[in-house]
Amino acid sequence: MTSTAGVAPVAAADVRADTGRRRGRTGYLLLLPAFLTLLLFFVLPFYSLVATSLYDPSGSDIEGYSMTYHVANYWDALQEFWRPLLRSLWYGAIATVICLVLGYVLAYAMAFKAGRWKYLLLVLVIAPFFTSFLVRTLSWKLILADDGYVVDLLQFLHILGEDGRLLATPVAVVAGLVYNFLPFMILPLFASLDRIDHRLVEASSDLYASPFVGFFKVTWPLSLPGVVSGTLLTFIPAVGDYINQVLLGSPNQRMIGSVIQSQFVDANNYPSAASLSTMLMLLILAMVLVYIRRAGTEELL
Amino acid sequence: MSQVADVQRERADDSSYDGLRIRELTKSYGVFTAVQHLDLDIPRGSFIALLGPSGCGKTTTLRMVAGLETPTSGSITLAGEDITFAKPYKRPVNTVFQNYALFPHLDIFENVAFGLKRRKVKDVEQQVRDMLDLVELGSQTRKKPAQLSGGQQQRVALARALINRPEVLLLDEPLGALDLKLRRSMQIEIKRIQVEVGLTFVHVTHDQEEAMTMADTVAVMNAGVIEQLGAPAELYENPRSTFVANFLGQSNLIEGTVLGRSADVTTVDMHGIQVSVPTERTHTDGDKGWIGIRPEKVLIGEVGEELDAPGNTIPGGVVSDVSFNGVSTQYLVRMPWGQELQVFQQNTGRVRLFRSGEPVELSWRPEYAFLLDFSQDASAGAQKGDD
């Protein structure tokens, strides 16, 4: 073992000296498809979005738009739509926290307690993706309907008033968000919990840590990479989501996603929609960067 | 087969015994029984090795002492206290795990301090520094386990367990992942530390040389029971079963028929040759038995040569294989009854080397031979050259 390890670098260095140049060129050639894909599907749309957000707002489909660096678009959009923007961040945050609690419990059970049922449970977590996102959200409309079992039960228990309802309330919107993004939380959590060597937990218990202390000193810190990626994968799409609000909420729960959608599609106000999109993107980016810095897990991403 | 010596030694009250006492310990997984009615007494301050092939129940026994497995039946008492069902974090027992199980997210200092901090001990800082100095890692305190070599990780694992000054320190194949040279030096190192701290060490291993080098007492385990327990030299010189004879070193086992028993010797007919075995080395009551002799105890000489071994001389051998190892020469000698016997001869220079095909005579001193029960498998415990 040791003797081969000593010899190998010398041989590798010889080869590199011979073919270094050609290999470099091949490397770039092989990167080309990835460069093109990024250019086509990321750089160009992003450029187009930013450009649109700076269009002269007086343009129309008929007259055409001109790019005038009209930065005031941002200010106007913010003044008009700051409520849905904040609400989106708020709903996204609540949904993420609920997902984290539910997802952690499930992922923990799957990784440590499920034994041979582990992979069946994993399939069940993924199974909802086999049906459309829209259909599943619409069926939540039936579950939470005014004369449905859930509302009846809650009214019976006097948690909801006589004419209380769940649909068209923040509860329904957040519940929909939690439901739809839960798998995105569970999968990374499961991946990082499943990787934890069970002997570490045994070692902590051997070293006088009760199960409770052992969890917070060993299991939780080792699952942090999963927690960080799970919360990001949940929070980012949840903030931009509009289906749940449209199907389960009312205009009172309007989220930024549906504002952008209606600005683009119904109002034909492209500059406003584009500037909202750009702002949402920058806002999430800033929050994610702060979050990762705080979690101290830069090297894990 | 198990524990005659211990049962005879004492029947004292469990609560007055200050070591680790295991009684009738059994662990079954469904139909498979990993450990069967195990009795073992480990006096305080001793270094015992549980030696056996993989799957013999040695690790299961260790894990039951650590509290990581629950016994099916039986009891474990430590310093007079019944800990059979105590939670692992409430026992004064610490473990050095097989692959160390160091916490990857904590640095060396925090790893070693883990047990002390959980017990809210004061003066953690100084104790950890002293312990890391003891294992010669004083300069590496802020490194993560992944930045250390295998031998260093091993020492951190040892320090992390030792710092808690447990009643019993359990070592689960702690040197298995190290290369041969490092393993040798760690064996001596661990032995030194054990003498220095004076704690009870229970060491699980499948490496017979490691067990004999390190431990005061070796318990050879096979199929969930202890086959034999004793000091390394005692086990090696006077094995009670074919398993111990083959697993601990190598043995020649030759079929024989008992002719007579007297006060000090048993006379055995071995394929027409009469040999004698001391009574205290006779471990069978039957009419037949396996005559055992260690290869290095067998002398090899030319036909008719006067050998320094009055008693058992076996003529008619033919050398069938010679391997020269420098220190010694190993011969395989085919005997008239068809069996090949192993002979190790020191290369002292006084005797010449034999060549393959030469006729030779073998002999051994009767006091080195042992007689084992014929119902046992003569190949039980033999290493298949993978060690």
The answer to whether ipTM exceeds 0.85 is no
Q: Are residues B75 and B8 in the same domain?
A: yes
Q: How many domains does chain A have?
A: 1
DSSP B20: E
pLDDT of residue A190: 96
Give percent of chain B with pLDDT exceeding 70: 93
Q: What are the structure tokens assigned to B4, written together?
A: 């005659």
Amino acid at A177: L
Q: What span, in angstroms and rounded, lies between the C-alpha atoms of B136 and B123?
A: 20
Q: Inform me whether the C-beta atom of residue B158 falls under 8 Å from chain A C-beta atoms.
A: no
Q: Report pLDDT digits (tens) over B36-94.
A: 999 999 999 999 999 999 889 999 999 999 999 999 999 999 988 899 999 999 999 99
Q: What is the pTM of this model?
A: 0.80
How close A102 gets to chain B, by Cα (Å)?
25
Residues B303 and B330 grouped into a single domain = yes
Pairwise CB contact (< 8 Å): A202 & B115: no
Long-range contacts of B314-319 (CB under 8 A, 24+ apart): B314/B270, B314/B273, B314/B275, B314/B361, B314/B362, B314/B363, B315/B361, B316/B359, B316/B361, B317/B341, B317/B359, B317/B360, B317/B361, B317/B362, B318/B357, B318/B358, B318/B359, B318/B360, B319/B354, B319/B355, B319/B356, B319/B357, B319/B358, B319/B360
Residue B32 backbone zone (phi > 0: left; psi -120 to 50: alpha; other: beta) = beta
A23 within some domain? no
The B residues from 161 to 190 touching A (CB cutoff 8 Å) are: 161, 164, 179
What per-residue confidence (pLDDT) applies to A101? 97
- Whether B286 and B312 share a structural domain: yes
Beta bridge partners of B225: B222
3-state secondary structure labels for all residues of chain A: CHHHHHHHHHHHHHHHHHHHHHHHHHHHHHHHHHHHHHHHHHHHHHHHHHHHHCECCCCECCCECCECCCCHHHHHHHHHHHHHHHHHHHHHHHHHHHHHHHHHHHHHHHHHHCHHHHHHHHHHHHHHHHCCHHHHHHHHHHHCCCCCHHHHHHHHCCCCCCCCCCCCCHHHHHHHHHHHHHHHHHHHHHHHHHCCCHHHHHHHHHCCCCHHHHHHHHHHHHHHHHHHHHHHHHHHHHHHCCHHHHHHCCHHHCCHHHHHHHHHHCCCCHHHHHHHHHHHHHHHHHHHHHHHHHHCCHHHC
Residue A247 lies in a domain: yes
Torsion of CA B366, B370, B371, B377, to 10 degrees: -140
Q: Which residues contact B323 (CB under 8 A, 6 or more apart)?
A: B329, B330
Torsion sign over Cα A11, A16, A22, A27: positive
Evaluate whether B220 touches B58 at the Cβ level (below 8 Å). no
A64 domain residue, yes or no: no
Q: What is the pLDDT of residue A6?
A: 42
Residue B126 lies in a domain: yes
Share of chain A above pLDDT 90, in %: 57
Query: A206 and B103: CB-CB below 8 Å?
Result: no
Burial class (CB in 10 A: 0-12, 13-18, 19+), B348: exposed
CATH of the domain at A157: 1.10.3720.10
Q: How would you classify the pairing of strands B200-205 and B47-51?
A: parallel
Domain-terminating residue out of B237, B271, B289: B237
pLDDT in tens, B135-176: 888 888 999 999 999 889 999 999 999 999 999 999 999 888
Residue B235 exposed, middle or buried by CB count within 10 Å (0-12, 13-18, 19+): buried
Q: Residue B385: inside a domain, yes or no?
A: no
Residue to mutate among B105, B110, B165, B170, with most A CBs inside 10 A, is B105
pLDDT value of residue B386: 41
CB A198 within 8 A of CB A218: no
Residue A259: inside a domain, yes or no? yes
In chain A, residues with a C-beta closer than 8 Å to the C-beta of B104 are 200, 222
Q: Are B363 and B312 in contact (CB under 8 A)?
A: yes
Do residues A53 and A73 lie in contact, with contact meaning Cβ atoms separated by under 8 Å? yes
Q: Is residue B379 part of a domain?
A: no
Q: Nearest 5 degrees, angle CA B147-CA B152-CA B156?
A: 100
Residues A192-250: pLDDT tens digits? 999 999 999 999 999 999 999 999 999 999 999 899 999 999 999 999 998 999 999 88
Say whether both B279 and B202 belong to one domain: no
Confidence check: pLDDT of A61 > 80: no
Residue A55 lies in a domain: no
Confidence of residue B196 (pLDDT cuts 50, 70, 90): confident
Asked if the structure places residue B288 within a domain, the reply is yes
Number of domain units in chain B: 2
For A37-48, what is each residue's pLDDT tens digit? 999 999 999 999
Report helix, strand or coil for B157.
helix
Q: What is the pLDDT of residue A21?
A: 62
What is the average per-residue pLDDT within A179-186?
95
Give the pairing type, strands B359-364 and B299-302: antiparallel
Kindly tell me if the per-residue pLDDT of A105 is higher than 90: yes
Asked if residue A96 belongs to a domain, the reply is: yes
d(CA B335, CA B317): 5
Residue B319, token pair as written in the block: 């050398």
Q: Does residue B384 lie within any of the structural domains?
A: no
For B120, which residue in chain A has the nearest alpha carbon?
A208
Q: What percent of chain A has pLDDT over 70?
A: 90
Instruction: Name the token pair of A116.
Output: 């041979």
Measure the CA–CA gap between B285 and B279, rounded to whole angstroms.
Answer: 11
User: Do residues B231 and B256 share a domain?
Assistant: no
Residue B370 near residue B276, CB atoms below 8 Å: no
CB-based burial label for B291 (10 Å; 0-12, 13-18, 19+): buried
DSSP state for residue B282 in the 8-state scheme: B
Contact A205 B115 (CB under 8 A): no
Q: Do A206 and B160 touch (CB under 8 A)?
A: no
Amino acid at B199: L
Both B249 and B311 in one domain: the answer is yes
Please check the confidence at residue B16 and state whether its pLDDT lies above 90: no
Predicted local confidence at residue B384, as pLDDT: 52
Q: Helix and strand tally (H, E) in chain B?
A: 9, 20
Determine how β-strand B168-172 pairs with β-strand B93-96: parallel
A293 confidence band (pLDDT: 50, 70, 90): confident
Cα nearest neighbour of B166 on chain A: A207
SS3 call for B296? helix
Q: Are strands B200-205 and B20-29 parallel, antiparallel or unpaired?
A: unpaired
3-state secondary structure of B250: coil
Domain membership flag for residue A43: no
Note which residues in 200-229 of chain A have CB less than 8 A from chain B: 200, 202-210, 213-214, 217-218, 221-222
Q: Both B273 and B246 in a single domain?
A: yes
Q: What is the pLDDT of residues B251-291, one digit of tens each?
A: 999 999 999 888 888 999 999 888 889 999 999 888 899 99
Q: What is the C-alpha to C-alpha distance for residues B329 and B306, in angstroms, rounded to an integer?
A: 20
Domain assignment of residue A193, given as a range: 78-300
Q: How far is B214 from chain A (nearest CA, A)?
A: 24
Residues B97 and B156 in one domain: yes
Distance spanning both ends of chain B, measured CA to CA: 26
Instruction: Let me know if residue B378 belongs to a domain.
Output: no
CB A246 within 8 A of CB A257: no
Query: Residues B225, B368: one domain?
Result: no
Q: Is residue B149 helix, strand or coil?
A: coil
Helix axis angle for B124-134 and B150-162, nearest 10°, is: 130
Q: CB atoms < 10 A from the CB of A292, how many?
A: 15
Residue A88 lies in a domain: yes
Q: Residues B321, B231: one domain?
A: no
Q: Which of B211, B237, B263 finishes a domain?
A: B237
Segment B118-143 shows an average pLDDT of 90
pLDDT digits (tens, 9 = 90+) for B298-357: 988 888 776 665 667 888 899 999 999 888 999 999 999 989 999 999 988 888 889 999
Task: Tell me how long chain B is.
Answer: 387
What sign does the CA torsion over B84, B88, B91, B92 have? positive
Average pLDDT over residues A120-142: 92
**What integer pLDDT is reported at residue A7 of this predicted model?**
43
Residues B214, B274, single domain; the answer is: no
Nearest beta carbon to residue A205 from set B88, B103, B179:
B88
Q: Is B195 a residue whose pLDDT tops 80? A: yes
Say which CATH number the domain at B112 has. Answer: 3.40.50.300
Q: A34, exposed or middle or buried, with CB in 10 Å at 0-12, 13-18, 19+?
A: exposed
Q: Is B65 within 8 Å of chain A by CB? A: no
What pLDDT does A13 receive? Answer: 47
Question: Which residues form the domain of B289?
Answer: 242-373
Q: What is the pLDDT of residue A227?
A: 93
B66 inside 8 A of chain A by CB: yes
B85 and B224 housed in the same domain: yes
Buried b (16+ CB within 10 A) or exposed e, A12-33: eeeeeeeeeeeeeeeeeeeeee
